[in-house]
Structure 1
């Protein structure tokens, strides 16, 4: 399997595949513990892009288009069974771009899309761009976001390793906007943090513009990083969605061979 795809507990006979996309500065480690909470009928794959974890010394992407160009041919073979896309923050928008590419090529879409902790892809970033700031200014912004442990921020050696990735991911997150028209026939669930001041309910609702079926919006305890701080709440929601999807798909599962 490609180094882009982390499959911590392969389940080749699973009924459904869950493909997860990390937030800016994150990596597959956010999702690998989920295997303990997911059923044996779920095959979890987490995306590991260059510049992080085991790929730390590879050059990270700092633009959306080449990142998705590289990912697309790796995702297509995974559509041999029902697939759910889950993305948090920037990961939601990477997953959305993949949805648009799949539709443009007339390929199968995921049977469900879960957008977590993210405004719709047409929304401008609320904060002013930070990726180009000096190291000290950039680290101050990271501290305000509350997503990087203080011990890491204060470790100059670690930060020298992580800053190129963080700048690259933040550049994508802060400059990307989807400006085309598209309607996706893919059921949509949106997860938000009750204390996420940057992504309130009004910004979560903007995803609806691109989907034909009504979005199911669910608010969870926590701030923007509820996916880490309240992981059990997220996996409970994901398990519920998987059960609903499989119940809906059971009559048509034979088409996946």
Structure 2
């Protein structure tokens, strides 16, 4: 399997597949522990893009188009069975942009989309970009987000390693804005953090614009990084969705994908 795709426990006979897209500066390690809590009817695959974890010394992508172009060469073969896309923060928008490209090319689509801790893709990040700020100012922004441990921020050597990735991911996050008209018929779930000061309920509702079915919006404890603070509550929500999909998908539909 490609180094882009982390599959902690291969389950080739699983009825469903879950593909997870990490937040800015994040990596597959956010998702791999989930396999212990998820239904055995699902196979988990987490995206590991260049510039992080085992790929730390590879050049990270800083443009959404380039990142999604690469994913388009990797993801379609994984859609041979019913698949859920789950993205957190920037990962939600990467997953969404990928889904629009899949639809535009007439390729298979996920059967459920989960946007987590993210504004809708039509909303611009902010008026003032931060990815090009001097190191001190940029790191102050990171500290405000509360997603980078203070011990890491204060470690000069570590930050020298991580800053290129963080700047690249922030450039994608702060410059991407979806302007197409493609919409989807699959169910949509949206997760938000109760104490998330960056993503409001209005931001979460913004996803509804692109999906025909009413969004199921769930607010969980925690701030923007509730996915790290309360993983058991996130996987509980994912397991509910898995259960609903398995109940609704007729056996012939599952075998058609298999």
Whole-Å separation in 2 of the counterparts to 1:220 and 1:206: 18
- Output the aligned Cα RMSD: 0.8
Report which stretch shifted further, 73-82 or 121-130.
121-130
Counterpart of 1:245 in 2: which secondary structure? helix
Structure 2 matches for 1:36-55, cutoff 5 A?
Answer: 36-55=36-55
Structure 2 matches for 1:67-146, cutoff 5 A?
Answer: 67-126=67-126, 128-146=128-146
Whole-Å separation in 1 of the counterparts to 2:255 and 2:6: 27
Structure 2 matches for 1:101-250, cutoff 5 A?
Answer: 101-126=101-126, 128-250=128-250
Q: Which runs of 5+ in 2 are unaligned?
A: none
Which consecutive aligned stretches of 4+ in structure 1 deviate over 4 angstroms post-superposition?
none
Whole-Å separation in 2 of the counterparts to 1:3 and 1:145: 29
Whole-Å separation in 2 of the counterparts to 1:10 and 1:127: 43
Whole-Å separation in 2 of the counterparts to 1:198 and 1:28: 23
Counterpart of 2:75 in 1: which secondary structure? helix
Q: TM-score, length-normalised on structure 2?
A: 0.98
* Cα shift readout 1:114-139 (whole Å, capped 9, x = no counterpart): 00000000001136211001111111
Whole-Å separation in 2 of the counterparts to 1:46 and 1:174: 23
Whole-Å separation in 1 of the counterparts to 2:212 and 2:37: 31
Counterpart of 2:17 in 1: which secondary structure? strand
Report which stretch shifted further, 155-164 or 176-185.
176-185
Q: Which runs of 5+ in 1 are unaligned?
A: none
Structure 1 contact 19–84 (Cα < 8 Å) conserved = yes
Whole-Å separation in 1 of the counterparts to 2:69 and 2:125: 23
Counterpart of 2:249 in 1: which secondary structure? helix
* Cα shift readout 1:97-121 (whole Å, capped 9, x = no counterpart): 1110111011121010000000000
Q: TM-score, length-normalised on structure 1?
A: 0.98
- 1:256 aligned residue: 257
Report which stretch shifted further, 247-256 or 86-95.
247-256
Whole-Å separation in 2 of the counterparts to 1:134 and 1:240: 44
Structure 1 contact 116–191 (Cα < 8 Å) conserved = yes
Whole-Å separation in 2 of the counterparts to 1:211 and 1:42: 24
Whole-Å separation in 2 of the counterparts to 1:75 and 1:117: 23
Specify whether residues 9 and 201 from structure 1 end up closer, same or farther in structure 2 by C-alpha distance, changes over 3 A only.
Answer: same
